[in-house]
Amino acid sequence: MTITAGGGPAEPATVRPRSPYVDVLRAAAIVRVFLQHTVPLGALTALLPAMWVMFGLAGYLTAVSLRRGGPGRTVRSRLRRLLPPLWMLGAIAVPLMLLHGWHPFTWSDLIPWVFPLVNPPGSEWGAAFVITLWYLRVYLWFVLLSPLLWWLFQRAPVATLLTPLGAAVLLSTVLTLPGSRVTDVIWSTAAYGTAWVLGYARESGLLDRLAWPACLAVAGALGLAALLRAAADPEGLQDQLALVLWGTAVVLVALRARPRLAWLAAAAPLRRAVALLNARAVTVYVWQLPMVALGTWLLGGLAGPPALTVAVAAVLTACAVLCFGWVEDLAAKRPPALVPTVPAPRRPTAEGAQTPSRATAA
């Protein structure tokens, strides 16, 4: 690794368009989350720990924005992209939950639906609307903390990378915090913080200066620690610390890689699907579980075959995205459209160069 005299990562030299690999990786993570909610398989988590990948990519894209636009502009733009899809979901979910007897309900319950510093609450009937919203809460905290984390990373990159992971290990072994909304924030920041800062390391070029043998050795050590933890815990691979260690190992390798994916330009249907998933990422995320629940209810006794459940849930989710995805266009200051425009493919450039380039933020 090369560090500048001021203690931060060396400055990248050039600017280039966003990487198709980043878009494909984020699309794959979104699909993995959808499949996990329709046909839960533990193997999916092992193959692609989607939450860690999504936070790693979000950290990378946020670092790009911080480098180009500064802290204030970055935080404002990220909040603008994150919150409106939540507000649209709340505008439908909250009245429905009230109509179905949300009790006890207080007006203060609406505050997290506007600005989710804690998980937005809901009724038992409306559980499908709220279960996955913890991701938006964690994302919001990382956005708010991103200027501080970026400042720390530029001055002490390795320490900033390791501190969240070390905190997660301590919270899982030595320290025991009482369950509360505050400790939820502390734990999630620790659990996903290293993945987020690894995104900074990718953007800064620090990861590119980590040789592949060293990268694989570190990832292998983390993976082995995860397996040992899982073997010693009754929950197995569902143990929180095992998931953190494994997710961090996978995202380290995923963000270190810079494949060109030249073939994607010629695979028009797949390229379009990837672009659409990226353009509607938040909408797909917040609506997929309600649509899975609706599909299961509609199928009734026919909900047994996994392929049928997946197909119905996918169609319903696509309908929800058509109905509400335009909110992401407005949030991104684009003309609203039922189906976003897919840009023409650009000729890919090599991503494995010694001196890495920056990508534009999504």
145 Cβ neighbours under 8 A, 6+ residues apart: 189
Residue 345's pLDDT band (boundaries 50, 70, 90)? low
Instruction: Copy the structure tokens of residue 182.
Output: 């505050």
Question: For the chain, which residues make up each domain, given as ranges?
Answer: 20-331
Residue 176's pLDDT band (boundaries 50, 70, 90)? confident
User: Averaged over 26-42, what is the pLDDT?
Assistant: 89
User: Averaged over 72-94, what is the pLDDT?
Assistant: 96
Evaluate if residue 12 carries a pLDDT over 50: no
Q: CA–CA separation, 351 vs 12, rounded Å?
A: 13
Q: Looking at residue 41, what is its pLDDT?
A: 73
- Rounded to two decimals, the pTM is 0.89
Residue 328's pLDDT band (boundaries 50, 70, 90)? very high
Give the number of C-alpha atoms closer than 13 A to the C-alpha of residue 231, restricted to the C-beta side.
6
70 torsion bin: left (phi>0), alpha (psi -120 to 50), beta (else): left
Evaluate if residue 146 carries a pLDDT over 80: yes
Q: CA–CA separation, 296 vs 291, rounded Å?
A: 8
SS (H, E, C) the chain: CCECCCCCECCCCCECCCCHHHHHHHHHHHHHHHHHHHCCCHHHHHHCCHHHHHHHHHHHHHHHHHHHHHHHHHHHHHHHHHHHHHHHHHHHHHHHHHHCCCCCCCHHHHHHHHCCCCCCCCCCCCHHHHHHHHHHHHHHHHHHHHHHHHHHHHHCHHHHHHHHHHHHHHHHHCCCCCCCHHHHHHHHHHHHHHHHHHHHHHHHCCHHHCCHHHHHHHHHHHHHHHHHHHHCCCCHHHCHHHHHHHHHHHHHHHHHCCCCCHHHHCCHHHHHHHHHHHHCHHHHHHHHHHHHHHHHHHHHHHCCCHHHHHHHHHHHHHHHHHHHCHHHHHHCCCCCCCCCCCCCCCCCCCCCCCCCCECCCC
Residue 322's pLDDT band (boundaries 50, 70, 90)? very high
The length of the chain, given as a count of residues: 362
Of 122, 73, 67, 66, give the one whose Cα is nearest residue 93. Answer: 122
Evaluate if residue 15 carries a pLDDT over 60: no
Q: Looking at residue 354, what is its pLDDT?
A: 36
Q: Looking at residue 214, what is its pLDDT?
A: 97
**How many other CB atoms are there within 10 angstroms of residue 65's CB atom?**
22
Evaluate if residue 14 carries a pLDDT over 80: no
Q: pLDDT higher for 177 or 201? A: 201
Q: Looking at residue 154, what is its pLDDT?
A: 96
User: Averaged over 168-172, what is the pLDDT?
Assistant: 95
From residue 325, how far is each of 62, 129, 236, 310 by CA, in Å? 22, 17, 38, 21
Q: Residue with structure tokens 């046909």?
A: 39
Average pLDDT for the chain: 88
Positive or negative: CA dihedral 61, 66, 71, 72: negative
Torsion of CA 242, 134, 60, 84, to 10 degrees: 170
Evaluate if residue 28 carries a pLDDT over 60: yes
Residue 346's pLDDT band (boundaries 50, 70, 90)? low
Q: CA–CA separation, 49 vs 191, rounded Å?
A: 13
Instruction: Copy the structure tokens of residue 255.
Output: 């963000």
Q: Looking at residue 17, what is its pLDDT?
A: 61
Q: Looking at residue 7, what is its pLDDT?
A: 40
**Residue 15 phi/psi, 5° resolution?**
-120, 140
Q: Looking at residue 42, what is its pLDDT?
A: 66
Torsion of CA 135, 299, 321, 36, to 10 degrees: 30
Q: pLDDT tens digits for 186-240?
A: 999 999 999 999 999 999 999 999 999 999 999 999 999 999 999 987 777 778 9
Evaluate if residue 63 carries a pLDDT over 70: yes
Q: Looking at residue 44, what is its pLDDT?
A: 72
Q: What percent of the chain has pLDDT over 70?
A: 89
**Residue 95 phi/psi, 5° resolution?**
-60, -40
Least confidently predicted of 92-106, 146-160, 258-272: 258-272
- C-alpha Rg value of the chain to the nearest Å: 20
Instruction: Copy the structure tokens of residue 125.
Output: 């009937």
Q: Looking at residue 355, what is its pLDDT?
A: 36
Q: pLDDT tens digits for 99-131?
A: 999 989 999 999 999 999 999 999 999 999 999
User: Averaged over 18-30, what is the pLDDT?
Assistant: 93
Q: Looking at residue 344, what is its pLDDT?
A: 67
Q: Looking at residue 347, what is its pLDDT?
A: 57
Evaluate if residue 362 carries a pLDDT over 80: no
Q: Looking at residue 266, what is its pLDDT?
A: 87
